[in-house]
Amino acid sequence: MIFEVLVVGHLAVNCYILGCEETREGVVVDAGGDADRIIAVAERHNLKIGQVITTHGHFDHVGANLPVMQHFGARLLVHAADAPMLERAADAARAYGMQGENSPRPDTFLAEGMEITFGTYSMAVLHTPGHTQGGCCFYLAAEKKIITGDTLFADSIGRTDLPGGSHEQLLESIRTKLFTLPDDVNAYPGHGPETTIGHEKLHNPYF
């Protein structure tokens, strides 16, 4: 599987470009900014990006949705609970003194148990509310990888002091959806370095 990480945008979001070596079908997860760089990586691998997928609706994770979608003719997937944030992303960025871009409306809503396929690969949607009400993680069981967005970080968790956040709900999401996965699953967060589920179960100070 093609699996590349780009750090994009003003808040150093991890954008993931995934692809199938056989069919060259691909997806982009969290196109937070720097659309030209995202497009360049996808084209270097000769990928046809069919889906842009958003872990949650915060402005720093959606800033390049429009140009990436337009370039590839891709569809947008986000959880329904976070969809209203997309068209307010620019205003949210300005509230923090930054420039941001609104995102198009989603074509499809993410939901617990949904399978997202690209070529010979698939990943399962895990709805993990707490950072936002629509936060989702994407589990590639065969590859022992999970993209956790801002739900779980290396030795930390997502903040819960923003609208729609709930500390108790986030801890419950992590315990029931992520910490039930095998210890050797590699976790790829929305910011910062990768980790493993086993490491976080043993060492994450929030647990």
Residues 6+ apart with CB under 8 A from 123: 18, 115, 116, 138, 139, 140, 147
pLDDT digits over 18-57, tens only? 999 999 999 999 999 999 999 999 999 999 999 999 999 9
Reading the block at residue 12, the tokens are 């150093």
What is residue 2's predicted lDDT score, i.e. its pLDDT? 98
pLDDT digits over 125-169, tens only? 999 999 999 999 999 999 999 999 999 999 999 999 999 999 999
What is residue 36's predicted lDDT score, i.e. its pLDDT? 98
What is residue 57's predicted lDDT score, i.e. its pLDDT? 98
Domains of the chain: 2-203 (3.60.15.10)
What is residue 74's predicted lDDT score, i.e. its pLDDT? 98
pLDDT digits over 75-104, tens only? 999 999 999 999 999 999 999 999 899 999
What is residue 178's predicted lDDT score, i.e. its pLDDT? 98
Q: Which amino acid is at 134?
A: G
DSSP 76-96: EEEEGGGHHHHTTHHHHHHHT
206: confidence class by pLDDT, cuts 50, 70, 90: very high
Query: Chain-wide mean pLDDT for the chain?
Result: 97
What is residue 186's predicted lDDT score, i.e. its pLDDT? 98
Q: State the average pLDDT over residues 182-205.
A: 98
- 21-56 as b/e, with b when 16 or more CB fall inside 10 Å? eeebbbbbbbbbbbbeebbebbeeeebbbbbbbbbb
175: confidence class by pLDDT, cuts 50, 70, 90: very high
Question: What's the pTM value of the predicted model, to 2 decimals?
Answer: 0.97
What is residue 202's predicted lDDT score, i.e. its pLDDT? 98
What is residue 10's predicted lDDT score, i.e. its pLDDT? 92
59: confidence class by pLDDT, cuts 50, 70, 90: very high
Cβ atoms < 10 Å from Cβ of 75: 16
Cβ atoms < 10 Å from Cβ of 149: 28
